[in-house]
Amino acid sequence: MGSSTSTRSTASGMEASKKKTVSTMVGNNADRYAKKKLGVTTMISNPNQPAVRGNVKGYMALNTGGNQMYGTQYQEARGEYLEKQGLATGRTVNYGPIDPATGKGRFSYTAYDPKTADGKYTNQSRDAMATAKKNEIPLSKEMFESQNKFKLAIAGLTGIAGVPLIPSVLFNQALTPYTDYVQRKEGGFYNKAGFAGKFLPSNKNNEPQQQKETQQQDDMSESEFAESQRQKKLASMGSSTTAGNRKFFS
């Protein structure tokens, strides 16, 4: 009996893990679908170079009729994909003056809830929606500057209210230029999906040690790099030996 219970428990755990994997895949596919539908593309400075490191200058949508404030449309496209997979249900959200003829607000959009067509919220639908949202929307310059204006407004309000720290933090964030946002995103800071690229030269002080050494090796010949590493190792050994032989007197 004990063996049978253990087997059922193991099978149940494997099934749950499989569903989790599938929902994660679907969520990532939803983000890719949104990016493709809106035509969100990476702009580069030199068309003869790949879209990496310093060659990326920003992001824009090609299929939105020139509208670069595409955040809501991006979220709608994600939800649309999930709904087609039976993992989300759309509902119309109205705001602004209501048009009597259509019953819709002047401005409206479709929000998607993580529930199946029969109205049930499931672990799979929640996981798929959460995974899709973990993928950060690449911000156009217009979207980024709009966010900064909002942060400045909040900084002003919290400053007037006497809230400590928050105003200065928001103010500093609002002063971040778009080029810095792009640089950090390409370097891996903003990518929640785990992308870890190389930093721009201007950001080398913040590079992990391994990335610094990789770049150093790129810039030096193999013999030069090997010699520099040997010198570092000898220096560290000498330092540790000195520390080990040091005596203290009272």
pLDDT digits (tens, 9 = 90+) for 140-152: 999 999 999 998 9
Instruction: List, as one string, the DSSP characters of 182-228.
Output: HHHHHHTSS-TT----PPPGGGGGGS-HHHHHHHHHHHS-HHHHHHH
CB-CB neighbours of 125 under 10 Å: 22
The CA distance from 84 to 32, in Å, is 14
Nearest to 77 by CA among 133, 22, 143, 23: 133
CA atoms within 13 A on the CB side of 117: 6
Asked whether the predicted pLDDT for residue 243 surpasses 90, the reply is no
214-229 pLDDT, tens per residue? 444 444 444 555 566 6
Nearest to 73 by CA among 43, 102, 40, 98: 40
**Mean pLDDT lowest for which of 3-17, 61-75, 95-109, 177-191?**
3-17
For 68-85, what is the mean pLDDT? 97
Give CA torsion, residues 231, 232, 238, 244, to 10 deg. Answer: -160
> What confidence tier does 173 reach under pLDDT thresholds 50, 70, 90?
confident
The model's pTM is 0.66
> What confidence tier does 163 reach under pLDDT thresholds 50, 70, 90?
confident
For 110-135, what is the mean pLDDT? 95
> What confidence tier does 231 reach under pLDDT thresholds 50, 70, 90?
low
Q: Is 66 exposed, middle or buried (0-12, 13-18, 19+ CB in 10 A)?
A: exposed
Q: Chain-wide mean pLDDT for the chain?
A: 78
> What confidence tier does 9 reach under pLDDT thresholds 50, 70, 90?
low
pLDDT greater at residue 62 or residue 8: 62
**Residues paired with residue 60 on neighbouring β-strands, in sequence order:** 41
